[in-house]
Amino acid sequence: MTTVRTSTKLIRLGAVVPAGLAGSFIAVIGLGFLPDLGLVAAFAGTLVVSLVLASGAWEAPAVRVFGFARSLRPGEHAALGPALALLKVLELQPERVLMRLADTGELPARWIGRRTVIVDPTLAQGLYENRLTREDAAAAIGHAVASQRIGPSRFDLAARLWAFPWTLLDAVVRQIARAFSWVPAAGFAWQMRFVIGVIVVVQGFQPGGNPALGIATGALIAISYIGPAADRHWRRVVQRAADREVALAGLAGSMVHYAQWQDGADSLERVHRISEAAAERQRRKKAAQEPTATTTGCGALVLTHPTARR
């Protein structure tokens, strides 16, 4: 587990640092109308708030802002109650559960900060309509909790604060791209954005050009490749470890359905890993139930059951 956490920290840096730098650059451009003293004050304020978030304070209001979430309503809490009770028995219960403001079509449960899990409204609705069992909901929420424990989650909110301008810009660009997806070669043009970056950098060093603007534009386009790639790799590493933890907790069946829903035809290897973890759990359980032989002082063998020891 120590090796996994160390690798996730290093991989996570590859996604967080570029996004934070890009967010800072976008914020500077957006606040360009402020005097130099105003920019310094804004930077200092952001730094102070990020240090407070890194210390674990203000998590409750911060996750509502960054996660676009709200508190559970009584009906939603009642619907999720059995799943949360099961997770408490399995030692996978989140400390705080919030509800996403709107369906996003993404994961039904996602962790944020140190102690919070945000669930999608469709999860509570599925439980209410009996389309999902409590084990299904427990697997989704438990997977988020396991991912949070693998982390790193200590500086999650602070990183989100610095990357917030970049996150907003990325969301706007993706919405625009989705709206114009019907345009021929629109997706290809986005994939070939590095060509635009090269052109802007070259023009920046031409006579009358702006080298700083060219370098900054090229860096942003490079980050648009590096950041998401590092983030995807980090999520795969965390996903494998979280799948194993949830399967070992006894929710392998629901985890298989969850993986098939999430990855579709690409879930073959993931389902195989979950099945292996479930088989390992069965072997551990069987080994714990088998009686063991001990020798008395007279040399006689006595069968003792591990669960009967005090």
pLDDT tens per residue, the chain (310 residues)?
Answer: 545 555 666 667 766 777 787 788 788 777 777 787 888 888 899 899 999 998 888 999 999 988 889 999 999 999 999 999 999 999 999 999 999 988 777 789 999 999 999 999 999 999 999 999 999 999 999 999 999 988 778 888 988 888 888 788 777 777 777 776 666 666 666 677 778 778 888 888 888 777 877 887 787 788 778 777 877 888 888 899 999 999 999 999 999 999 998 888 888 999 999 999 999 998 988 888 876 555 555 555 444 444 444 3
Residue 6 tokens read as 């160390």
Per DSSP (E only), the strands in the chain are: 69-71, 96-100, 109-112, 116-119, 292-295, 301-304
Residue pair 117/137 in contact by the 8 Å Cβ criterion: no
Q: Which pLDDT score, from 0 to 100, does residue 291 have?
A: 65
How many alpha carbons fall within 13 Å on the CB side of residue 143? 28
CB 111 within 8 A of CB 140: no
Q: How far apart are CA 261 and CA 171, in angstroms?
A: 24
- Cβ–Cβ < 8 Å for 147, 236: no
pTM score: 0.77
Residue 182 CB contacts under 8 Å (≥ 6 apart), including other chains: none
DSSP code per residue over 140-176: HHHHHHHHHHHS--TTHHHHHHHHHHHHHHHHHHHHH
Kindly give, in sequence order, each residue whose CB lies less than 8 Å from that of residue 86, ignoring residues fewer than 6 positions away. 134, 135, 138
C-alpha 135, offset from chain centre: 21
Q: H/E element holding 212?
A: helix 211-246
The encoded tokens of residue 199 equal 């052109």
Q: What is the DSSP letter of 250?
A: I
Distance, in Å, from the CA atom of 65 to the CA atom of 63, rounded to the nearest integer, reads 5
